[in-house]
Amino acid sequence: MSPDSTGLDAWVDVLSAVFMIVGATMSLGAAIGLLRFPDLLSRMHAATKPQVLGLFLLLASIGLQMRTLWVWPVLLVAWIFQLLTVPVSAHMVGRAGYRTKHLHRELLTSDELEAVVQKAAAKAAREDGSGDG
């Protein structure tokens, strides 16, 4: 790109190009997962994990392309924001999905939460009944 393109410079360019393409492929992977997985909870895996790696690779390629050191803390803060927010939103969506029965039981090989949820629901129903009557 730049006229004084030394060997190292070219390698950094190649590395950041690879990062960009792999990072974009991660988004594509997320979309494929969204389309192909059978139920909400497995789609959620597809929506969260590639996002984090994809943004990491893209931010790293920005850092490599800018060729200055002071952008790295800024990029790190942006990535940490992503790291903190993605699991929380995935957990909230997953919890709502589990409670509203958006999952296919036949796809689960074991479910250790079901008994707990049913017990809690039975208890809540008892309390409701005693509260009304």
Return the residues of window 84-103 that contact another protein according to CB under 8 A. Answer: 84-100, 102
Using CB under 8 A as the binding rule, whether residue 125 contacts another protein is answered as no
Q: Distances from the Cα of 74 to the Cαs of 53, 59, 111, in angstroms?
A: 17, 10, 42
Using CB under 8 A as the binding rule, whether residue 127 contacts another protein is answered as no
For the CA atoms of 63, 69, 75, 80, the dihedral, rounded to the nearest 10 degrees, stands at 130
The least CB distance from residue 13 to another protein, in Å, is 6
Q: How many amino acids of this chain bind another protein (CB under 8 A)?
A: 86
Return the residues of window 17-36 that contact another protein according to CB under 8 A. Answer: 17, 20-21, 23-36
Using CB under 8 A as the binding rule, whether residue 81 contacts another protein is answered as yes
Q: How many angstroms separate the CA atoms of 45 and 34, rounded?
A: 9
Q: Distances from the Cα of 43 to the Cαs of 4, 16, 60, 112, in angstroms?
A: 47, 29, 27, 20
Binding mask 38-77 for another protein (x = CB under 8 A): xxxxxxxxxxxxxxxxxxx-xx-xx-xxx---xx-xxx-x
